[in-house]
């Protein structure tokens, strides 16, 4: 906020949510925050952890074969990836981080682990390694569940790690990407509305 003296009262007037966090990555300090240790649903931000684990296990150019659970039901925002489709790790990460496709999270999970349950255990293990001690994952895509929760403070920890230690931020910055399904080249646009504001 430029040319305005900052106060807690002003912060409350400008922000309409009861839970928020703004972090200055350059100076490594929290600028504004409220209830950052309150338990919340991570929703599609869950895919950050799914993407991180995929990224840590496969090279970006590696070709992957789509495998979905036999009982998988397409739910929420999906790309309708099908068993047998081929794509690179980078393309799968685009589906995760740009288009936020739920089915891509299951594809990623089964690239790394034999079962979804094993992958969820890996997600929680990685969360503890990063110091996300108030987080518990129960699925790889972020659909609501009583046992699927985090805090803004933990999401900050995950975000800082990704920004400092991976190239995933480059993928999340894309406005869109192209991918061919059933011999049709399709455009997939980002779900991040903030990209339109630069």
Q: What is the pLDDT of residues 102-124, one digit of tens each?
A: 999 999 999 999 999 999 999 99
Contact in structure between 63 and 88 (CB atoms under 8 Å)? yes
SS3 content of the chain, % helix, strand, coil (to 5): 40, 15, 40
Q: Would you state the pLDDT for residue 2?
A: 39
CA distances from 77 to 51, 82, 141 (A): 17, 15, 10
> What region does 44 belong to: left with phi over 0, alpha with psi -120 to 50, or beta?
alpha
Q: pTM for this one?
A: 0.90
Map residue 137 onto helix, strand or coil: coil
Residues labelled catalytic: 44, 47, 100
Contact in structure between 104 and 95 (CB atoms under 8 Å)? yes
How far is residue 184's CA from residue 195's CA, in Å, rounded to a whole number? Answer: 26
Contact in structure between 142 and 42 (CB atoms under 8 Å)? yes
Please list the ranges in the chain whose pLDDT falls under 50.
Answer: 1-5
Map residue 159 onto helix, strand or coil: helix
HSE on the CB side for 56, CA within 13 Å? 14
* Residues in a beta bridge with 181: 184
* Residues in a beta bridge with 30: 23
């Amino acid at each position: 906020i430029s040319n305005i003296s900052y106060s807690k009262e002003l912060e409350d007037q400008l922000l309409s949510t009861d839970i928020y966090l703004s972090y200055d990555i350059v100076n490594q300090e929290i600028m504004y925050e409220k209830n950052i240790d309150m338990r919340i649903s991570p929703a599609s931000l869950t895919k950050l952890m799914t993407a991180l684990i995929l990224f840590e296990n496969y090279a970006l150019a590696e070709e992957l074969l789509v495998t979905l659970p036999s009982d998988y039901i397409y739910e929420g925002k999906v790309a309708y990836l099908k068993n047998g489709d081929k794509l690179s790790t980078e393309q799968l990460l685009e589906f995760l981080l740009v288009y936020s496709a739920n089915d891509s999270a299951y594809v990623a999970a089964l690239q790394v682990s034999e079962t979804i349950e094993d992958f969820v255990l890996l997600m929680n293990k990685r969360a503890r390694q990063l110091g996300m001690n108030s987080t518990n994952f129960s699925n790889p895509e972020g659909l609501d569940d009583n046992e699927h929760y985090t805090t803004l403070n933990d999401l900050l920890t995950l975000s800082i790690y990704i920004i400092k230690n991976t190239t995933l931020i480059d993928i999340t910055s894309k406005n869109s990407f192209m991918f061919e399904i059933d011999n049709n080249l399709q455009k997939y646009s980002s779900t991040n509305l903030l990209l339109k504001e630069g």
